[in-house]
Amino acid sequence: MIPIVWILISVILLGFYNGLLLKDDKLSENDPQNKKIELYWHFVGSLIFIYISLTTWYVWDIKYIPLTLSSFWGIFGGIVHKIGLNKPFFFVGTTAKTDKLIRKLFPKNPELLSGILKITLILLSILIIVL
């Protein structure tokens, strides 16, 4: 029974995430609903991160969770930015809390700090597994 529920959760999360991205894409940035939809898809995206991390922990080991999280933040996010939003790979938006923090710390070129952080965290996560 647990595998059935686990599969259904993944399908529902991915469906909501993709549906919200499509809905966001169809709205103007000036539309009052746009900010709310962006918050929703960021929230659902974070649930996907957690869901995949729990799956990784169950299948392999807890030491794989940092790689899962950093890969989602760095690679998955980059693909969504590039393909879905037509933005730079290490694009820093204005909705996510991490984006707001990065923009505050590095206002002139937030994408540079974003790239450095994401690549560094992925590499450190791989070191945790290897060592």
pLDDT digit string (tens) for 3-20? 899 999 999 999 998 898
Closest CA to 89 of 52, 116, 120, 126: 116
pTM over 0.85: no
Token couple for 59: 């299948």
Whole-number mean pLDDT of the chain? 90
In the chain, what are the helix, strand and coil shares in percent, each to the nearest 5? 80, 0, 20
Q: Per-domain residue ranges for the chain?
A: 2-130
Residue range 61-84, pLDDT digits in tens: 999 999 999 999 999 889 988 987
pLDDT for res 70 = 95
Percentage of the chain lying above the pLDDT 90 cut = 58
pLDDT for res 21 = 83
